[in-house]
A = this chain, B = another copy of it.
Amino acid sequence: MKLGYETLDLYPRHTFTISRQEETGEVFRNVLVRLEHDGLTGWGEAAPDIYYGENWLTVGAALETFRPLLEREKDPWGAENLMMELDRCLSGNWSAKAAVDMALYDLQGKLCGRPVYEMLGLDPDAAPLSSFTIGIDRLEVVAEKLREAAACPMLKIKLGGPEDLEIMEAVHRANPEAVVRVDANTGWTPHLALEMTEKLVDYNVEFVEQPLPEGDRDGMRWLKARSWLPLIADESCRRLEDVPRAAGLFDGINIKLAKSGGIRHALKMIHTARALGMKVMLGCMIESSIGITAAAQISPLVDYADLDGAALLADDPFRGMEFASGRLSLPSSPGLGVEPRAG
Contacts and interface: CB of A to CB of B under 8 A. Distances in A.
B275 A244 contact: yes
A78 interface: yes
Given A80-B121, A80-B301, A271 B274 contact: no
14 contacts: A77-B114, A79-B121, A80-B120, A80-B121, A80-B122, A80-B301, A81-B122, A81-B123, A119-B119, A240-B275, A244-B244, A244-B276, A268-B274, A271-B272
Interface string A53-80: 0000000000000000000000001111
A122 B76 CA distance: 11
A274 B240 contact: yes
B268 A300 contact: no
B240 A121 contact: no
Contacts of A244: 244, 247, 275-276
A118 interface: yes
A142 interface: no
A264 interface: yes
A123 B78 CA distance: 6
A174 interface: no
Contacts of A139: none
A267 interface: yes
A152 interface: no
Chain A contact residues: helix, strand, loop or mixed:
helix
A114 B109 CA distance: 12
Contacts of A111: 112
Interface size class of A (residues with CB under 8 A): 35 or more
Nearest to A80: B121
Contacts of A119: 108, 119
Contacts of A301: 80
A192 interface: no
A31 B264 CA distance: 33
Nearest to A82: B121
A121 B275 contact: no
B80 A275 contact: no
A243 interface: yes
A324 interface: no
Which residue of A79, A122, A241, A272 has the most chain B CB atoms within 10 A of its CB atom?
A: A272
Contacts of A268: 271, 274-275
Given A268-B271, A271-B268, A121 B77 contact: yes
A165 interface: no
A40 interface: no
Nearest to A101: B121
A238 to B, nearest CB: 12
A126 interface: yes
A266 to B, nearest CB: 11
A204 B214 CA distance: 45
A122 B79 CA distance: 7
Contacts of A275: 240-241, 243-244, 268-269, 272
B77 A271 contact: no
A284 B247 CA distance: 31
Interface in A75-108: 77-82, 104, 108
